[in-house]
């Protein structure tokens, strides 16, 4: 494996981590504001050994819309 490919993989991994963290924090704050229950479904990527956001839904009577 050449160094450039390794760097690309690392950058990709960092990006996924940041996006996951941001989405999680955003959704948690949103659920607190709207009193929604947010369900997270994590899809496992075996190759990267990462967890990425697969789906998030808001299932509460006070919150009609889905994200």
Query: Taking a C-beta distance cutoff of 8 angstroms, is the pair 57, 67 a contact?
Result: yes
Average pLDDT over residues 13-34: 78
Residue 6 pLDDT > 70: yes
Q: Where are the alpha helices (DSSP H) in the chain?
A: 3-34
Range among 1-5, 15-19, 37-41, 54-58 rated most confident: 15-19
| The pLDDT of residue 1 | 63
Quick check: 23 pLDDT over 70? Answer: yes
Cα torsion through 50, 15, 63, 40, rounded to 10: 0
- pLDDT higher than threshold 60 for residue 46: no
Cα separation of 11 and 31, whole Å?
A: 30
How much of the chain exceeds pLDDT 90, in percent? 0
């Amino acid at each position: 494996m050449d160094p450039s490919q390794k760097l690309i993989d690392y950058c990709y991994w960092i990006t996924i981590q940041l996006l996951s963290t941001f989405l999680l924090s955003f959704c948690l704050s949103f659920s607190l504001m709207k009193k929604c229950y947010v369900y997270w479904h994590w899809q496992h990527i075996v190759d990267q050994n990462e967890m990425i956001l697969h789906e998030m839904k808001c299932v509460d009577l006070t919150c009609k819309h889905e994200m």
